Structure 1
Amino acid sequence: MTTDTPTADLTDDHAFAVWAAEQAGARLLEVRAQGLEGRELKNAGDAAAQELLARLLDEHRPEDNVLSEEARDDKSRLTASRVWIIDPLDGTREFSEPPRDDWAVHVALWQDGQLTAGAVAQPALGETFSTAAPRQVPARTSERPRIAVSRSRPPAFVESLAQQLGADLVPMGSAGVKVMSVVRDVADAYVHAGGQYEWDNAAPVAVARAAGLFCSRVDGSELVYNKDDVSLPDLIVCRPELADEIVAFVRSHGTD
């Protein structure tokens, strides 16, 4: 497979993140069209997207380090000033269930302690959300707040939070899709404490922050990336006006 000739200035990190995520997304759509099913489709998607992103990064950002869900963790990244944090296929289960569109590709750049660029492509939706052209979240269109949750295992504490806020739960797949649902005004918050890793939310958080959303750990503390331990188990992404009430609820009630 050959990649499309880029039309953007790939020396720009924001433009490169978008292009790379969209190239991987296009490759995943090709894999999905091959007639594979179940575990075979999941494995093929993971492998194809990882291979393509690794190749693009090696070609266009050869001096940078990479942290990926689908590759060995090279600890030299811990002393690097630039690290790309990628999830080649976020929402593998949803990807393996055509025609579901709630899966994504994550490409983020961490530089000198901060997330500086990011893109989340939702190929089956035909959209990419990024720091290259940040969306400004529109005024809320729903009467009641909406909280994005896992479609298979919504945590009990989020159900209690929804009661406190008078909110509705909106089930969907993929961590990145849940964060983008707040950017898209499909949901107003995503609150998670069931365990994630840096690649699950680095790109979504970069995009959400650029859109003006509140992002933190569930106790309100900062999200820190490029750590030795890549576990980042909990997350809040929400409209700024909901942040204080959500953080206060979690601090008071916990996540058990």
Structure 2
Amino acid sequence: MTVGETDEHLAERLANAAGEILLDLRASGEFVDKALGRVGDARANAMLMDELRAARPDDAILSEEEKDNVARCGVSRAWIVDPLDGTREYSEGRSDWAVHVALAVDGVPTVGAVALPGLGLMLTSGSPTPLAPANAPLKMLVSRTRPAAEAVYVAEKMGADLVAMGSAGAKAMAVVRGEADIYLHTGGQYEWDNCAPAAVAIAAGLHVSRADGSPLVYNCANPYLPDLLICRKELADEVLRLAGEFVVE
């Protein structure tokens, strides 16, 4: 624990520390495949929980790897973390996985740190990334394994190239970094999947919302948050219009 540490620095420090745990574990060769993912999740989560409880004892915590307690909903400040976003990619030795540490205040994603340890990168809400020029043609991110039909439809209508990538954090940060322009997800997520990415994307000046344009709200009794749009602001109206007209056949 660092005395007088800001929320922004705490989020960044913990995301970085979790990333180091995960990289060291993978490099050790002690575990492989699904076992590597399980152990990595558990070890990173244990550190995050210990550090957050010590540093912010009055705040609530929601983690993918912890048993939930809905009493957190009565607390204004809630840390929302994913110790390892993209377990499959991590276990396969890929770089498109992430660590998410976020703070939601009264349901708003206020502080976020997304570590991309496989790339040696850290993106935070406290140090916004300047937006790069739009890609030509536009690039839209989709899941490696189950591209959302709505995203495919929108990409076709907008003439955007589809780019398959792993974790939600990696995809969201690809938009923040200018490698892509649109991340539209409708296949189901939870608060820990997108709270930190949302906070970082908002700070970078991107459009961030649900797939129908409504706000993302965090620290809810049911943490299921199935859809997400992160894109350049000038593209948001068209993406939302097209997503809204998509009909499952």
TM-score (normalizing by structure 2): 0.96
Cα separation, partners in 2 of 1:250 and 1:196, compared to 1, 3 Å: same
| Structure 2 contact 151–243 (Cα < 8 Å) conserved | no
| Structure 2 contact 189–224 (Cα < 8 Å) conserved | yes
Deviations 1:142-186 (A, max 9, x none): 211100111111122222211100000011000011000000111
Q: Structure 2 CA distance, aligned partners of 1:81 and 1:11? A: 19
Secondary structure, aligned partner of 1:124: helix
Q: Structure 1 CA distance, aligned partners of 2:23 and 2:246? A: 42
Structure 1 residue 41 corresponds to structure 2 residue 30: no
Q: Structure 1 CA distance, aligned partners of 2:202 and 2:37? A: 30
Match of 1:77, as an amino acid? R
Gaps of at least 5 residues in structure 2 are none
Aligned to 1:54: 49
Q: Structure 1 CA distance, aligned partners of 2:209 and 2:245? A: 16
Deviations 1:100-152 (A, max 9, x none): 11000000001123221110001111111001111121222x21110011111
Aligned to 1:21: 15
Aligned to 2:230: 237
RMSD: 1.4
Match of 1:50, as an amino acid? N
Secondary structure, aligned partner of 1:33: helix
| Structure 1 contact 208–215 (Cα < 8 Å) conserved | yes
TM-score (normalizing by structure 1): 0.94
Please list, as runs of the form range in 1=range in 2, the aligned pairs for 1:26-175 lying within 5 A after superposition.
26-35=20-29, 36-98=31-93, 100-140=94-134, 142-175=135-168
Gaps of at least 5 residues in structure 1 are none
Secondary structure, aligned partner of 1:229: coil
Aligned pair count reads: 248
Residue 52 of structure 1, CA deviation: 0.7
Identity of aligned residues (%): 50
Secondary structure, aligned partner of 1:206: helix
Residue 241 of structure 1, CA deviation: 0.9
Runs of 4+ with deviation above 2 angstroms: none
Cα separation, partners in 2 of 1:67 and 1:156, compared to 1, 3 Å: same
